[in-house]
Amino acid sequence: MDATSVMWFRRDLRLADNPALVEASAGAGVLPLFVLDPALWDPAGAPRRAYLAASLHALDASLRRRHTRLSVRHGDPVEEVVRAAREVGATTVHVAADFGPYGRDRDARVEAALAEHGIALVRTGSPYAVAPGRVLNGSGQPYKVYTPFSKAWAEHGWRGPIDAPHGGHWLEVDSAELPDEAAPDGVELPDAGEDAARKRWQAYVAEHLADYDGDRDRPDLDTTSRMSVHLKWGEIHPRTMLADLAGRTDAGAATYRKELAWREFYADVLAQRPETARDYLRPEFAAMEYDDPGPRLDAWREGRTGFPVVDAGMRQLRATGWMHNRVRMIVASFLVKDLHVEWQHGARHFMRWLVDGDLASNQHGWQWTAGCGTDAAPYFRVFNPVTQGKKFDPDGAYVRRWVPELAEVAGRYVHEPWQSPDGVPAGYPDPIVDHQEERREALDRYARITS
């Protein structure tokens, strides 16, 4: 009981339902520590950095209510975690296990450095209800396809949530300032932190969950939960959410549970195949002919393609650090199949701007849409941005919200303003490609790698 420990927070920025923190708090004292690692901080886009900074302030505020604070260090965790642990005489450093390629390697290096000083790295829990690698098929192999995975995942089950540790003795060390990073001009970020996450989730369950199954594909209704950012930073644990879904038999709750299973599935796939953070899950797609990224990629990034739903999505991303799931699929399909640009370019742009940017969900969301991933949506299923727009944004409210140049375009033309008798409004571009032509081109290129 004399031993002290460090709780090294990474993407688990909460006190409640945090098994690693409970373990860390069992000894004589615990140091709550966050290390700002330049390898992760520097490449993150400004919205991600601003959100993380706000979330760290919120975690610090929670700790201050317990009469302590978050100690922050800047630098390589291999040095900084060891240094902080030695300063408080810790014998253990507690973490939630990280299954991403960088995190796993970093943790192995930190573990080795700690061991030189007789300090153990203790992994308890993970950002998932079921840790990657646990859900296996009858032959003891990981699943490659979502549906059987999700069934086995549900059968595997998970523990119930646990409370934040009560009492305990908190430790502090000299700390750098918490990062202060404002959101870029014009970008509105959601409230960060554990309290905000719980509040949003509880309001969502009460007000929208029952309609989730029917409404989730409608960007104009904007009634998905927006919990992705809170999950990404671990401001809430999925099993807290799953516990609230348990016992509900409505379609909304059932579908929501399946969406959480996609998150767990992609984490499992990335843990099995870490190279797919960059490479094609189905390697034959690497041989396909792609176009060099050029001005068309810029037009896509900036929401100037002349295809209203694509432009609305890309502008929503820049303005809020988030994009609706249906629109993520439409813009991803457009980049890969209409502009013939490799998915990695789009995935990189998403990771830069998305506040929920998560390597597993993002890279595999891209690969799925590009046709080269798990359960691959067949490559020949090319989204038509006009019909997708008309189907999922039937009155054009989503497009008008994010593309003000189209605000005055009459109802049925808003998804294809070039058909309007008044023509494309001044200031809005003509379509940069002919969708039907590019669809044929994409299928020809696909045929060349499959014949």
In whole angstroms, give the CA distance from residue 264 to residue 314: 26
Return the number of the residue (225 or 240) whose C-beta is nearest ligand FAD. Answer: 225
Return the number of the residue (357 or 431) whose C-beta is nearest ligand FAD. Answer: 357
Return the number of the residue (93 or 372) whose C-beta is nearest ligand FAD. Answer: 372
Q: Closest approach of Cβ 259 to ligand FAD, in Å?
A: 3
- Residue 133: what residue type? G
Question: Alpha carbon 301 to chain centroid distance?
Answer: 19
- Residue 409: what residue type? V
Q: Closest approach of Cβ 44 to ligand FAD, in Å?
A: 12
CB–CB of 346/332 below 8 Å?
Answer: yes
Q: Closest approach of Cβ 326 to ligand FAD, in Å?
A: 8
CB–CB of 176/36 below 8 Å?
Answer: yes
Return the number of the residue (73 or 216) whose C-beta is nearest ligand FAD. Answer: 216
Nearest-CA neighbor of 337 among 442, 427, 436?
442
Q: Closest approach of Cβ 159 to ligand FAD, in Å?
A: 19
Nearest-CA neighbor of 1 among 116, 168, 164, 162?
168
Return the number of the residue (235 or 416) whose C-beta is nearest ligand FAD. Answer: 235
Q: Closest approach of Cβ 343 to ligand FAD, in Å?
A: 8
Q: Which residues bind ligand FAD (CB under 6 A)?
A: 216, 224-228, 231-232, 259-260, 262-263, 266, 325, 328-329, 332, 350, 354, 356-358, 361-362, 365-366, 369
CB–CB of 69/172 below 8 Å?
Answer: yes
Q: Closest approach of Cβ 236 to ligand FAD, in Å?
A: 10
Write out 261-312 in H/E/C secondary structure.
HHHHHHHHHHHHCHHHHCCCCCHHHHHCCCCCCCHHHHHHHHCCCCCHHHHH
Return the number of the residue (161 or 417) whose C-beta is nearest ligand FAD. Answer: 161
Return the number of the residue (93 or 330) whose C-beta is nearest ligand FAD. Answer: 330
Q: Closest approach of Cβ 31 to ligand FAD, in Å?
A: 30
H/E stretch holding 94:
strand 90-95
Nearest-CA neighbor of 248 among 277, 287, 221, 213?
213
Return the number of the residue (34 or 266) whose C-beta is nearest ligand FAD. Answer: 266
**Cβ-closest position to ligand FAD:** 365
What single string gives the DSSP state of each residue in 370-390? Answer: HTSSTT---TT----HHHHHH
Q: Closest approach of Cβ 26 to ligand FAD, in Å?
A: 30
